[in-house]
Amino acid sequence: MAALERGATIAVIGAGSMGAGIAQVAAAAGHDALLYDTNPEAVIRGIETVGRGLDRLVQRGKMSRQAHNELLARIKPVATLEELADARLVVEAIVEDLSAKETLFTGLEKICSQETILASNTSSLSITAIAANLSRPGNLAGMHFFNPAPVMKLVEVVSGVSTDRVVAETLFDTAAAWGKQPVHTRSSPGFIVNRVARPFYAEALRLLEEGAADCATIDAIVRESGGFRMGPFELMDLIGHDVNYAVTCSVFNAFYQDKRFLPSLLQKELVDGGLLGRKSGRGFHDYTEASDKPLPKTAARVAAPAVIEVIGSLGPAEPLLANWQRAGIKISRIEGEDNKVRIGSTLIALSDGRSATQRAADNGEPDTLLFDLALDYSGAGRIALAAADQASTKAAEDAVGLFQAGGKTVSLIDDTPGLVVMRTVCMLANEGADAVLQQVCDADAVDTAMQSGVNYPLGPLAWADRIGPALVLEVLINLQRAYGIDRYRPSLLLSRKVAAGASFYSKC
């Protein structure tokens, strides 16, 4: 298999921001890109939009004027579908409506050659369903770009039941030749990104519903501790709640109302009220000019402990020790169960999916506090802590002071199972594991898709390997026990990896 040659003509149907962006990507790779829309004015606007974007690149010195002109000249407006007859690849980027796409591709089969590859940019519809009534269903695959297409690297190459393997491989190689990061995925609800990403929003919404913390604090924890570029509420506001909620509902219904994808009533309220995020001026955050940006809840400064005991290994949190040593804290290490720190009667432990209150009751140690997962414990700017309901004020101050001495801003949140980053990452890894188990894609595709498509700091399965699949499984089991619902059921693949002592990047 090989990419389409540079001389091959590419056609794009739909001249909105996505379609015009895809045409720009093809033209930048040296192809003539034919751009069609049922509204001729949309084609003109689409090409003008591309031109303005290229102008900005020229102004910033990232493109020469000659390259600008040559690229723009390769995007050619066409007035009829019949003018697409010689295209080697036709990419559809029209409305997300199954009937409209079926009608379009049925017509294209009569116009284009038998070798023409037909691709849909759908983000949610079944490729198998779109191809069902075609005479050559093997020629159709998904080629799902992410917006803005000229900037975002990921392309999901989606194979339906009837998609010819050569067609999928050609699209994969072509996307790579265009400078993209392609991944193969089977046609399944949400493909990779829109499926695996659901817990990023869902867990934050549940935490907010339960009063664990406010939006600004959860966003700050996810950014400053988890290393994500945006917090979940910031990102939902940016995407638009109408869009984000609709995708969640689509995935939920496509999986026959699997509780793992249950939509949030809190988000539905925003949609019903027209509070759609940035585009309406208000969502979870207020974007009007007169509004003050809310600040995350941050613990007041307290004294650091002079001496601590570290019990066993701190596992993924082991880098904290160097921070505490630099702060002059005396550290002694003793044998025992991992992931614990003791300051007198105060016990501080890495979250294992239980609430601090439950863990204090289980261990008979009332002065228990839990700390959250971090992408990089050494460099993370913020850490979330939760105190058991039984814990004393002195115990909370011990824990806060310890992490502040290590250079962390501390957010004390209400006691909740799994805290913020830990439960989010474990649920992302769990969904990624299920996608692999169900042969939607492989582990590398999951991680590549989430990093290239939505800018995650680390792929969820690679992150699971980093902290240990056994800890991920323990967190999920404890979350399921705490809530008593199927939402947190561990993936069979995760359980198998733990039983075999294997990681996601090794065989069971």
Q: Evaluate if residue 508 carries a pLDDT over 50.
A: no
Out of 157-161, 332-336, 367-371, least confident range: 332-336
- Nearest Cα neighbor of 246 from 278, 210, 281, 270 is 270
**Could you say which of 92, 109, 156, 474 is catalytic?**
156
Half-sphere exposure at residue 487, Cβ-oriented, CA atoms within 13 angstroms? 21
pLDDT reported for residue 338: 79
Sign of CA dihedral 240, 242, 243, 248: positive
Confidence tier at 436 by pLDDT (50, 70, 90): very high
Report CA-CA distances (Å) from 99 to 126, 150, 248, 409, 423: 12, 28, 21, 53, 39
The answer to whether 76 and 66 are in contact (CB under 8 A) is: no
The answer to whether 479 and 353 are in contact (CB under 8 A) is: yes
pLDDT reported for residue 506: 78
97 vs 139: CA distance, rounded Å = 20
Tally of CB atoms within 10 A around 97: 12
Tally of CB atoms within 10 A around 51: 15
**Could you say which of 92, 120, 139, 144 is catalytic?**
144
pLDDT reported for residue 258: 95
408: helix, coil or strand?
coil
Mean pLDDT throughout 191-198? 97
467 vs 474: CA distance, rounded Å = 12
In sequence order, the 6+-apart residues with CB closer than 8 A to the CB of 194 are 123, 124, 247, 251
Pull the structure tokens for residue 198.
């659901």
Confidence tier at 394 by pLDDT (50, 70, 90): very high
Task: Give percent of the chain with pLDDT exceeding 90.
Answer: 97
List, for residues 49-97, the tens digit of each pLDDT value: 999 999 999 999 999 999 999 999 999 999 999 999 999 999 999 999 9
Backbone angles phi, psi at 428, to 5 degrees: -60, -45
Give the per-residue SS3 of 380-411.
CCEEEEEECCCCCHHHHHHHHHHHHHCCCEEE
Q: Evaluate if residue 220 carries a pLDDT over 50.
A: yes
* All structural domains of the chain: 10-187 (3.40.50.720), 195-280 (1.10.1040.50), 307-413 (3.30.750.190), 421-500 (1.10.1040.50)
Q: What is the mean pLDDT of the chain?
A: 96
268 vs 235: CA distance, rounded Å = 16
Half-sphere exposure at residue 406, Cβ-oriented, CA atoms within 13 angstroms? 28
Mean pLDDT throughout 157-168? 98
DSSP state of 86: T
pTM: 0.95
123 is catalytic: yes
Helix or strand holding residue 11 (H, E): strand 10-13
31 is catalytic: no
Q: How many residues does the chain have?
A: 508
Tally of CB atoms within 10 A around 278: 14
374 vs 422: CA distance, rounded Å = 8
Helix or strand holding residue 241 (H, E): helix 241-254
Tally of CB atoms within 10 A around 189: 19
pLDDT reported for residue 1: 60
68 is catalytic: no
In sequence order, the 6+-apart residues with CB closer than 8 A to the CB of 398 are 305, 343, 344, 346, 348
Pull the structure tokens for residue 86.
């010689």
Mean pLDDT throughout 287-300? 92
345 is catalytic: no
Pull the structure tokens for residue 21.
């962006």
Q: Evaluate if residue 124 carries a pLDDT over 90.
A: no
Mean pLDDT throughout 20-47? 97
**Could you say which of 31, 92, 120, 123 is catalytic?**
123
Give the per-residue SS3 of 197-208.
CHHHHHHHHHHH
465 vs 471: CA distance, rounded Å = 10
**Measured in whole angstroms, how far is the alpha carbon of residue 465 from the centre of its chain?**
18
pLDDT reported for residue 507: 56
In sequence order, the 6+-apart residues with CB closer than 8 A to the CB of 60 are none
Helices first, then strands: H and E counts in the chain: 20, 15
Give the per-residue SS3 of 41-70.
HHHHHHHHHHHHHHHHHHHCCCCCHHHHHH
The answer to whether 105 and 77 are in contact (CB under 8 A) is: no
pLDDT reported for residue 186: 97
Q: Evaluate if residue 29 carries a pLDDT over 90.
A: yes
Q: Evaluate if residue 413 carries a pLDDT over 80.
A: yes
Pairing of strands 307-311, 340-343: antiparallel
Mean pLDDT throughout 298-322? 96
pLDDT reported for residue 158: 98
**Could you say which of 121, 162, 187, 194 is catalytic?**
194
157 vs 141: CA distance, rounded Å = 7
Mean pLDDT throughout 104-117? 97
